[in-house]
Structure formats: C-alpha cells, structure tokens
Structure 1
Amino acid sequence: MTDDSPDIGGYLFCVNTKEDIVMKTVLITGSSSGYGLETARHFHAQGWTVVATMRTPREGILPASDRIRVLPLDVTDASSIAAALEASGPVDVLVNNAGIGVAGAFEATPMSHIRKVFETNTFGVMAMTQAIIPQFRIRGSGVVVNVTSSATLVPMPLAAAYTASKMAIEGFTGSLAHELQAFGVRVKLVEPGYAPSTRFAHNTELRVEDMIPEAYASFAQPIFAGFANPAMVTKETDVAEAVWHAANDTSARLRYPAGADAVALARAG
C-alpha cells in the first residue's frame, strides 16, 4: 500500500489507498445507533459482510441484505461474547465501538457508576479483543480497531471517569499493536471528536444532574452549554470513514482522529 498522507505526531489524518481492497467480514460492537450503526452502513456500502452486534437487536435500522447479520452481544458478559463469536463465524476486522459516557463532578460520581463505565469502555473492549485474538493469530491476519475519544487528546473537565476509561484503551492498544505485529495482526485506534447525536452522558442509569453538586454549578454551566452548542462537531460519517481507513491501512500507524474537532486537537497537541 502506498500512503501519501501527512503523519503529524504519529497521527494519520487522511489515508490514500492505492491498492484494491479485498471484501471481507467486519464485526462491530455497539451497532444499534451512532458511530456503530453508521460504521456498519459504511462497510456494507463498500461490499463487505457486516456482523452488527448490539445488546438488544433492533429491526429495520440496517438494509435488508444477505451481507448483514444482526446479533445480540453484551460486551460485559463473557457468555454473550462467546455466543456472538460462534454465531458470526470467522471475521477479518473487529471494531470495538460499544461504549457509554458519564459526565459530572468526579467528587459526586458514585464508584458504582465508574465501575459500570469501565466494565463497558475498558474491560468490554479487552474481553472482546482477547476472545478474537486466537483466530487472528492462527490465521496470521486480522485487524482490531478500538474506538476511543478525543478526550484522550485533550482531557475535558466533568468527564474524569469516562476519560480514564478511554485512556486505558489508548495504552492497551499501543502495547497490543507491538505484541501482535509478529503474527500479522494489526491494532488501531480511532479517536472521534464530540458528536451531539451520540447523546454523551445521557444514559438512563447515569444521571448527570445527580453528579453536579451546588459547589460545581457555576463551573459546570458553561461546559454543558458548550456541549449543547459546540464550535466544531464530529459527524457519524467522519467516524465511519476513519474506522474504514484504519481497518484497511496496512502501515504501522496507530492513531486516526475522526472529525474536524478531533483533528484540530491532534494537530494542536
């Protein structure tokens, strides 16, 4: 593969693929909405077979196609992971996209909430990756794409637990990329910016208003106003395209910021 893209601080901002891309199978976690759903649509449009997984399968959100399979998968449940991988059959690319957000003052964030975030964003990614490595290693090929966040580029306030869960995956991915290189397995990071459509921190079980004590109110108000009216945003298609590029780039590059705001943060860093 020939790549004419600029490499700034180890970040890839655009991939120019000069060779034909072989149509393969991708398994995507968290495909019921947002980045995961758009990524499933994008890979399908490129001719790939897509295994779209989600905790509760939803009908009608993806095209009716013999190249799309929707499977139940909870990345925090080992038996669910095993069942999904058995049902999916061999895959060529794993996209670890499933994640949850939590926003609030760390002081007021219950440890139960923090553990819930890490179970999905960190341990769920590790469990999925660990489960799929054997088939990649034995075959001598495969790609793991881990979706993190631009919060790992410039950590933001009122998201300490979320940022920590994603930073852990940044370190995990970098280390694993070296570990699996000898087996022909590539490991990549996609770092999306802020997309209001993902409804960050609006989990029904993780209520933001419960985690902003009065002492933090004046500090938090402009930050949440910025969430509501961001200067730059990441589109879901930006992330889908970045995941696609990462999955098909055979170079040793690790990081792919996705979205205008993420690219700006990566360049500034």
Structure 2
Amino acid sequence: MTSTILITGTSSGYGKATVELFLDRGWNVIATMRRPDPSVFATSSDRLEVLPLDVTDAGSIRKAIADGVAAFGRIDVLVNNAGIGMASAVEATPEATVREIFETNTFGVFKACQAIIPQMRKQGRGVIVNVTSSVTLGVMPLVAFYAASKCAVEGFTESLSYELEGFNIKARLVEPGYAPTTSFTANGGLRMQGLIPADYSDFARSCFTRMGNYPTPYCTEAEVAEAVFAAATDEGGTIRYPAGADSKLLADLRWTTSEDHYLARMREMFGPEPSLRAA
C-alpha cells in the first residue's frame, strides 16, 4: 500500500523540496499552504493533493486532514514544517509580534499534532515530524523569541515521543541549519523592521557579517528534505535529525562537548567583538 504524507508550509523552501522528494519516491503527498498553488511544484501527479491549511486555525487544520484522508484513505506521516522567522532585540519586540511567532511556530504545531493523533492511534501507527531549527542546538543572538518558539517544540516533541510510543506512533524532530536560498529572511522582512535599535546596530552588523563567514557550508533544501525522509521512514528510536553541515556542527558542540567548550565556541562565532563590549 502506498504511504501518504501531509506536509504544512509547502509553497517554498524546505516544504516544497520535501513534497517533491516524497513524490519522486512514490508516496502520496498532501501539500498544504495558506493559499494553494499547485504550479509551485515541478510536476503534477495523481498522487499529489494540494489543500489550504492555516496552522493558526484549528478548523482549517481539521478540514485539511479530513480532506486528505478522503483523497487517499489515511495519513501515515504528518510533517509540521510551516514557520516564520524573525531577528530582533528583545527589548524592542512588541508583544503582538511575539504572539504571532508563537501562534505559527509553536501553537500551530501543537494544534496539528492534536488533530492527527486520534487518527494515527486508530490506524495503529504513524509518524509525526516537527521541523524546528539549528537555533535549538546553538542559539545565536538577536533571535531570542524565534529560538524560544522552536525550543518549545523540541521539548514538546520529545515528551510526545514517549507518550505515543505505546501506540506505535513516532514523534521526531528535524533541525535544519540556515539555508540562504530559501525565502525565510525575505518573508520576515516587514515583521522585523525597526526591531533592532540603533544601540544594537554595530553588534548586529558584526554578528551578521560573521554569519557570512560560517565555519561550515550552510544547509540546503535538499538536505532538509532528505532528513525529513529519514525521520519519516526510520524504524529505529532516533528522535533528532540535524540537517546540514552547520546544524551538525552545532549538534556536535551541544551534545558531545563540555558546557565550557560549547559556550566558548558559541561566543567565538556569535558573541560581541572585544571593541563592542561595554566598559
């Protein structure tokens, strides 16, 4: 029987690449986005269903799942990929903007999981893959609220994995690095305007310049799609799947070195230069 996957946030970037990879490997794919547009994908297929889904709307989530089941009979894998980004100084970030980030990146994941779990439990198996970020492994500055929204999903997913194990449902994490070729930064442009005050400008410029000279290659959409495929199909007990050389570097720092070594390396990569430190 052909397996079926539902993926959120598929209009571009990681989500789009993941749709195309699973189609190429013979899966039924339910590709969801706020404004459905089948033309974004390279090919059309009778194994592809493009549906509307707004992760901030529980009713929209339930309808997409129901329509997906109607199209293919079941959903074997859910990938919570939809998300929005933001860089800002904490003191300058309005509460409404913080709530917007959490509604999509965090509560949207919670709602989608709550909606799919009963169906997976009844069918006796399933996989939930929550896409977070390498910032959950190594938190750079000026993304505190974005990092918080993704770190919440990490704790949620690990707890959920134990909760659902007895029902033969796996909950997993894919942790992508930064992919400059995606529309991540562009999509957050308006949201981020004015959120890095002048007092932070020299530090922000230094930080973003150093990101341009990162010690590893950055992530690609293809690497994330492959990590999602591994998370969806792996029969083992792994929960976390870093994607991209930059994410794997941070995972090694976080999980295989001492706290002192990790913090020293993070400050070397992202901390303020000596000339910018307060007296």
Give unmatched runs, 5+ long, in structure 2. 255-279
Following superposition, the deviation at residue 260 of structure 1 comes to: 0.7
TM-score of the aligned structures, taking structure 1 as reference length: 0.89
Percent of pairs with identical residues: 54
Residue equivalent to 1:56: 35
Following superposition, the deviation at residue 206 of structure 1 comes to: 4.2
Contact 2:218–2:244 (CA under 8 A) maintained in structure 1: yes
- Distance in 1, matches of 2:51 and 2:210, equals 36
- Cα shift readout 1:17-45 (whole Å, capped 9, x = no counterpart): xxxxx740000000000000000000000
The secondary structure found in structure 1 opposite 2:10 is: coil
The secondary structure found in structure 2 opposite 1:202 is: helix
Following superposition, the deviation at residue 58 of structure 1 comes to: 1.5
Residue equivalent to 2:52: 72
Contact 2:12–2:183 (CA under 8 A) maintained in structure 1: no
The secondary structure found in structure 1 opposite 2:46 is: coil
Structure-2 change in CA distance of 1:226 and 1:67 (3 Å): farther
Note the 1:4-153 alignment, pairs <5 A: 23-62=2-41, 63-89=43-69, 90-153=74-137
Relative CO higher for 1 or 2, CA cutoff 8 Å, sep ≥ 6? Answer: 1
Contact 2:86–2:188 (CA under 8 A) maintained in structure 1: no
The secondary structure found in structure 2 opposite 1:69 is: strand
Contact 1:192–1:262 (CA under 8 A) maintained in structure 2: yes
Contact 1:94–1:145 (CA under 8 A) maintained in structure 2: yes
CA RMSD of aligned residues (A): 1.4
Following superposition, the deviation at residue 205 of structure 1 comes to: 6.9
- Distance in 1, matches of 2:89 and 2:182, equals 21
Residue equivalent to 2:270: none
Q: In terms of mean alpha carbon deviation, does 96-105 or 198-207 score higher?
A: 198-207
The alignment of Structure 1 onto Structure 2 pairs a total of residues equal to: 248
- What amino acid sits opposite 2:45 in the alignment? S
Note the 1:239-258 alignment, pairs <5 A: 239-258=224-243
The secondary structure found in structure 1 opposite 2:64 is: helix
- Distance in 2, matches of 1:147 and 1:226, equals 25
Structure-2 change in CA distance of 1:234 and 1:265 (3 Å): same
The secondary structure found in structure 1 opposite 2:107 is: helix
- Distance in 2, matches of 1:102 and 1:167, equals 15
- Cα shift readout 1:92-134 (whole Å, capped 9, x = no counterpart): 0000000000101111111111100000000000000100000
The secondary structure found in structure 1 opposite 2:201 is: helix
- Distance in 2, matches of 1:222 and 1:26, equals 41
Following superposition, the deviation at residue 83 of structure 1 comes to: 1.2
Contact 1:71–1:84 (CA under 8 A) maintained in structure 2: yes
